[in-house]
Amino acid sequence: MAAEPIRQAKVNCDGASRGNPGESAAGVAIWDQRGESLGTISLYLGHRTNNQAEYTALLAGVMSVQILGLTDVEFRLDSELVVKQLNGEYRIKDATLKNLANRVKEAAAQISNVRFVHVPRSKNKDADALANDALDARSNR
């Protein structure tokens, strides 16, 4: 009997910025429905605000989910602002954030079932560590 294809996932995303704006990075950890890791991303982003880093981490997560062919995904972020903006609870005034949010929404529209969920920092440690690893690697050059 063939194993059930992986369709569901939880994706933890986090952006980090040392200074606001400042040197920034993104971290993404993807877990399947059994809680097994499907992969991680640790990406240096350059000079950005913390909210730009948060959105960019989420965009990287959404694009990775598309590549993996996942259809039911919960994106988990510790940025309440980003989650509430994407869920339509807060307006997006900043033009750069509006552009990033539109890119996230366009990419997420290709996934059948998507949820953006706020989690406390304590539940987003993996993604936070990945973002900080990218910053630390850059500063140790």
Residue-wise pLDDT for 3-34, tens only, equals 566 689 999 999 999 999 999 999 999 999 88
CATH superfamily, region 8-134: Ribonuclease H-like superfamily/Ribonuclease H (3.30.420.10)
pLDDT at residue 141 greater than cutoff 80 = no
Distance CA 57, CA 60 (A): 5
User: What phi and psi values does residue 15 have, to the nearest 5 degrees?
Assistant: -110, 145
What predicted TM-score, i.e. pTM, was given to this entire model? 0.94
